[in-house]
Amino acid sequence: MTLKNFYRATLFLPIVAPLIISIFGKTSLGWWLTMSIFISGIEYIIFAIAMFYLIGKYRTDKKIRRLFWLSPPIFIVIAICGWYIGLYIDRLTNPSLIVSFDMVYIFLFYGLLIGYGYCLFFELIYRVFQSLGWISLDQHNK
């Protein structure tokens, strides 16, 4: 497996993991991860498509890894834009709705926490796969 394929495969785990955890065990972690799909699932799909494209576009492993570590803030920007659009649509359909943007800070904190949690988990898996020789690095683009 190449580095590109590994990082492209990691884009699917935030969608698959909550579903697997919620099917095989009713835990609070499974509930929180499943709720993350309902809160920002559409935004994540947009993010995953863009990241999939960018990972394919970049030629060096260094650029791909940099993009990987920048992915949580990139996702947060996309998710907050989606959240604002949702609030705008809700406000159009219900003019008496009071809109508060205080939740952005909470969303930002937990989004980065969960995003970098996934990154650390994938970094651990990457290191294990690399030590087992399952991920091949191109010598010319380190």
Tens of each residue's pLDDT in the chain, 142 residues: 888 999 999 998 888 877 777 777 777 776 777 777 777 888 999 999 999 999 999 988 899 999 999 999 999 999 888 888 888 888 788 777 676 677 788 888 888 998 899 899 999 999 999 999 888 876 545 5
Q: Is residue 95 part of a domain?
A: yes
C-alpha span between 14 and 3 (Å, rounded) = 19
pLDDT at site 49: 94
Here the tokens at position 110 are 């937990």
Bridge partners of 136? 2
Q: Is residue 46 part of a domain?
A: yes
Q: Is residue 111 part of a domain?
A: yes
Angle at 63 between CA 60 and CA 69, to 5 degrees: 140
Three-state secondary-structure class, residue 62: helix
Q: Is residue 141 part of a domain?
A: no
Q: Is residue 37 part of a domain?
A: yes
- Total domain count, the chain: 1
Here the tokens at position 8 are 């492209």
pLDDT at site 10: 92
Q: Is residue 13 part of a domain?
A: yes
Residue 86 CA: distances (Å) to CA of 1, 7, 95, 119: 39, 30, 14, 27
| Cβ atoms within 10 Å, residue 7 | 22
pLDDT at site 74: 94
pTM over 0.95: no
C-alpha span between 99 and 93 (Å, rounded) = 13
pLDDT at site 124: 95
pLDDT at site 88: 82
Q: Is residue 142 part of a domain?
A: no
C-alpha span between 130 and 115 (Å, rounded) = 22
Domain boundaries, position 55 = 3-136
C-alpha span between 65 and 81 (Å, rounded) = 25
pLDDT at site 99: 66
pLDDT at site 57: 93
